[in-house]
Structure formats: structure tokens, C-alpha cells
Amino acid sequence: MLNLEKVARQIKEEGLYTFIYNEMKEIAGKGELSEKEVLHLLKEEPKFLQDYKTLNTQSEISNIQIAQQEIFDTDSAECKELKETINRNRKELIKLEPYESKPDSMLYAVWIGSATIFLIFVIHNLIVLYTFWYENYPLLVYTSYMVVCVLGYVYYRKRIKDHIRKYLLFKQIEKETKELIKKGIEEGYLSRSKIYE
């Protein structure tokens, strides 16, 4: 939910996005680009928009640029309902923003796998230091390691499913919000200048 004109202006003017701007200049083969040229490249090359979103996420800047819609007493009932829905969706989108992209299975595998290995290491050290279980109950010890591995895998699958569910919910709300904004502009309930922050 980005205002592409704002994105183009930020890429051209703000130092945070210099590497994206330099890549754009390289592709265009020019020393400097106008905002319109930057906007054109954003629409032509989805990689630049993805780089912008990634950089914002890493810098803890929101990619949800929809403004809170002000509701007036003079608004019609339909207009008020539309604005309230957009405001509600905006809050949900901000809450679900970490799930804006599909789950990175490797990321989950690495951190859950690391926690599982660490847990096995702790169990191993406790058993070696404080008991004689390796000598007396080796099957129990190795079974406990297997249980930890299975639990780690089950948790990994749960996290991936949860991420996919929230990703699909994010996409659904995003689509609904775009349709509401389009309808609001067509009906005259919203002005283009006040949709985005």
C-alpha cells in the first residue's frame, strides 16, 4: 500500500535510498533522473519496489502509507462506512505488515533448527554432567533427542502455516482496501491528495 509518487520522490531525494537510485541511473544510462523517470522505472522493474520495501522493513519504516481517513459529520452514511472500513483495514495492515511477503522457509528453518540444536546440546550436557544415563539408559537419552527434533520440526511447520495464513489475510485486506479506495475516489468520497501520508 505505497504511494508510488512519494516512493519516487524519496528514492530520488533521500540518502537512505541512494543505492536504489544509483542502480536506476545505471539501468537508464543517465547521470541524473527526473521523478517521472524514477516512477517509470518503479513500474517497469518490480525489483526496485521490492528493494524499497526491504530497505524500509530493515530500517523499521512502515510500507503502509495509507493515511487515517478523517470522518466528518457532513459525510453520507455510505461515505462514513467506507472511511471507517479503510481506517480499520489500515490498522490491520500495519499489524500484519511483517507478513507482507511469502514466508522464507530457510529463515524459519535456521532459527528453529538452531534452537533445537541448542536444546539438544543443553540436554546432553546436563545428562553427562549430572547422571549416568548414557551408561544405564542410552535408548532413553537418544529417544529424548529424537523427541526434541520432532518437536522442532512440528513447530517449524506450524510457524510456516501461520505465516502463510497471515500472508493470505494481508493480501486479502490489501486488495479490499485498494478496491475501497478506488470506489471512494470514483464516488467522490475521497480526494487523491488525502489518501496517502
Check residue 185 and give its pLDDT: 92
Triad 64, 68, 69: Cα angle to 5°:
130
CB under 8 Å to 101, separation ≥6 — which residues?
A: 53, 167
Per-10-residue mean pLDDT, the chain, length 197: 90 92 92 93 92 90 92 93 96 94 88 96 92 90 96 97 97 96 93 87
Check residue 1 and give its pLDDT: 79
Check residue 131 and give its pLDDT: 87
Report domain extents, the chain.
Answer: 1-63, 73-190
Check residue 106 and give its pLDDT: 87
Check residue 193 and give its pLDDT: 86
Check residue 14 and give its pLDDT: 92
Find where cell 480526494 sits: 191
Burial status of residue 193 (CB atoms within 10 A of its CB: 0-12, 13-18, 19 or more): exposed
* Residue 66 main-chain phi, psi, to 5 deg: -70, 135
User: Which H helix or E strand runs over 54?
Assistant: helix 46-58
Check residue 43 and give its pLDDT: 92
